[in-house]
């Protein structure tokens, strides 16, 4: 598996596959054909169907600025990958100089047809939880030690942690409507105000977490700087938990950093053995993965053992199996923002349940089993329910035409 640096990336929202990946590809293409007079980009598949709402065109045009770039959305193609982009460099007479076919793989990762793997080298020698646990047992180390053994990543993860908190803060301190036709109001701050008035500790905890998840997700939906965790669409789950544990539960940064390593390991295993792309696996691959990562981190912060951490992560995915991706109007807002809050609450519940259920029964479903199942389920989801906005909620919720 690759470094956690390839999983946690900082970039502008709202979508790692639809803004971060295309932006990276555009910057690379620009560097390769710096003398071009103009550029043309065709977005195909899911990128054509939801690219407008996901701001893909804006991300690409900005990457080429000040050189002009036309972006065309082209659907109805038979494609090798659901997120396909064709970049063409043009001379002063508008003739094509060269072109690249690129794929946005999810989480900001990209591939270019005919070129070597662009993403980083493999730094972890094991590719499943079973292999990792066997190695840890033979070496007498924990899952967290496992990450430390194969990469030095504390400084990088501290940057990630700080950006996550900053994203929540930015969301909490911004009011008004989110951009786009849904005319959706930001409510993160309002939820925080409600939380602070709560007398019940249990309700307060739920509202605080929701306020932070909404704030981070609203900031992402507005195109603000966010962290892929594992994607931008699901970038409210981990930051809300980190913010809550740091500011409200007063957990030290060093412990949160170790929790982030565990979360990263879980996200990496899902990325390696299934997918973290909504266009490939539906929302279970984004929100389900984020919930599993959050559940594992919370389990670690609660002092649970590695077996219980695995159980919490497994639950985080198991109860999101089959979750479809149906963003209304192509915006990463409905159901995405609320879904981040629900997943953060579920992550907390999964960690609590794993602690107690693991004491009274053996889990019949391993983490590797549920990841495999998620992958197979994702492949069976119809195209309409994999980030195309052609089905599900996207087909019943009205969007203001103006």
Least distance from ligand SF4 to the Cβ atom of residue 341, Å: 12
Q: How does strand 69-74 pair with strand 38-45?
A: parallel
Question: Residue 223: CA atoms inside 13 Å, Cβ hemisphere, count?
Answer: 15
Nearer to ligand SF4, 21 or 39 (CB): 21
> From the CB of 92, what's the least distance to ligand SF4, in Å?
39
CB atoms within 10 A of CB 86: 16
Concatenated DSSP letters for 207-265?
Answer: HHHHHHHHHHHHHHHTT-EEE-SS-STTTTHHHHHHHIIIIIS---HHHHHHHHHHHHH
Least separation in angstroms between residue 301's CB and ligand SF4 is: 24
Q: Are 329 and 398 in contact (CB under 8 A)?
A: no
CA dist 251 and 77 (Å) reads: 50
Q: Which is nearer to ligand SF4, 68 or 382 (CB)?
A: 382
Least distance to ligand SF4, CB of residue 28, Å = 24
Rounded to a whole number of angstroms, the minimum distance from the CB of residue 18 to ligand SF4 is 8
Nearest distance in Å: CB 383, ligand SF4: 13
C-beta closer to ligand SF4: residue 295 or 301: 295
CB of 57 to ligand SF4, least distance (A): 17
Angle at 322 between CA 319 and CA 327, to 5 degrees: 110
Distances (CA, A) of 89 to 68, 110, 307: 11, 19, 52
Residue 236 or 259 with smaller CB distance to ligand SF4: 236
Cβ proximity to ligand SF4: between 12 and 233 the closer is 233
| Nearer to ligand SF4 among residue 219 and residue 286 (C-beta) | 286
Distance CA 163, CA 358 (A): 34
CB of 133 to ligand SF4, least distance (A): 29
Taking the complex as a whole, the smallest distance from the CB of residue 293 to ligand SF4 amounts, in Å, to 14
220 contacts 186 by C-beta, under 8 angstroms = no
DSSP state of 150: H
By beta-carbon proximity to ligand SF4, the closer residue of 57 and 306 is 57
Which CB, 54 or 166, lies closer to ligand SF4? Answer: 54
Q: Which of 287, 298, 309, 296 is nearest to 205 (CA)?
A: 298
Q: Is 97 helix (H, G, I), strand (E, B) or coil?
A: strand
Buried b (16+ CB within 10 A) or exposed e, 213-245: bbbbbbbbbbbbebbbbbbbbbbbbbbbbbbbb
User: Is the CB of 225 or the CB of 391 nearer to ligand SF4?
Assistant: 391
Binding site for ligand SF4 (CB under 6 A): 233-234, 278, 283, 286-287, 325, 327, 332, 335-336, 339, 387
Nearest distance in Å: CB 27, ligand SF4: 23
Of 259 and 281, the one with the shorter C-beta distance to ligand SF4 is 281
Q: Is the Cβ of residue 170 or residue 277 nearer to ligand SF4 in the bound state?
A: 277
Cβ atoms of residues 327 and 217 within 8 Å: no
Q: How far is CA 215 from CA 27, 59, 162, 208, 338, in A?
A: 29, 22, 15, 11, 10
Specify whether the CB–CB gap between 375 and 368 falls below 8 A: no
Name the 3-class secondary structure at 34: coil
Question: How near is the Cβ of 158 to ligand SF4 at its closest, in Å?
Answer: 26
Within 10 Å of residue 133's Cβ, how many Cβ atoms? 19
């Amino acid at each position: 598996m690759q470094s956690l640096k390839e999983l946690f990336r900082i970039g502008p929202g709202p979508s790692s596959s639809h803004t971060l990946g295309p932006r990276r590809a555009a910057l690379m293409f620009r560097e390769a054909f710096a003398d071009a007079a103009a550029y043309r980009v065709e977005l195909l598949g899911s990128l054509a169907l939801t690219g407008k709402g996901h701001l893909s065109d804006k991300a690409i045009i900005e990457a080429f600025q000040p050189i002009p770039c036309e972006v065309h959305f082209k659907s109805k193609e038979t494609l090798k990958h659901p997120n396909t982009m064709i970049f063409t460099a043009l001379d002063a007479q508008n003739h094509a100089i060269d072109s690249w076919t690129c794929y946005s793989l999810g989480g900001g990762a990209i591939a270019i047809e005919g070129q070597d793997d662009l993403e980083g080298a493999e730094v972890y020698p094991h590719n499943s939880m079973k292999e990792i646990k066997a190695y840890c047992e033979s070496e007498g180390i924990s899952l967290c030690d496992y990450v430390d053994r194969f990469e030095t990543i504390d400084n990088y993860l501290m940057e990630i942690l700080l950006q996550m908190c900053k994203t929540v803060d930015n969301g909490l301190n911004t009011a008004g409507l989110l951009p786009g036709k849904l005319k959706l109001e930001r409510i993160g701050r309002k939820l925080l105000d409600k939380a602070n008035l709560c007398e019940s500790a249990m309700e307060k905890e739920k509202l605080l977490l929701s306020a932070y998840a909404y704030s981070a997700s609203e900031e992402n939906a507005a195109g603000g700087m966010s962290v892929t965790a594992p994607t931008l669409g699901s970038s409210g789950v981990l930051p809300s938990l980190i913010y809550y544990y740091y500011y409200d539960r007063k957990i030290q940064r060093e412990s949160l950093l170790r929790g982030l390593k565990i979360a990263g390991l879980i996200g990496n295993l899902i990325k390696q053995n299934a997918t973290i792309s909504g266009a490939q696996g539906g929302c279970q691959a984004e929100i389900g993965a984020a919930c599993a990562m959050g559940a594992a981190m919370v389990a670690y912060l609660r002092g649970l053992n590695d077996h219980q951490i695995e159980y919490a992560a497994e639950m985080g995915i198991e109860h999101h199996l089959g979750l479809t991706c149906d963003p209304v109007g192509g915006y990463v807002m409905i159901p995405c923002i609320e879904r981040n809050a629900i997943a953060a609450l579920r992550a907390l519940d999964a960690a609590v349940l794993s602690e107690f259920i693991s004491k009274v029964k053996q889990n019949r479903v391993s983490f590797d089993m549920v990841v495999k199942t998620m992958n197979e389920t994702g492949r069976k989801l119809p195209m309409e329910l994999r980030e195309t906005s052609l089905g599900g909620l996207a087909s019943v919720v009205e969007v203001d035409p103006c």
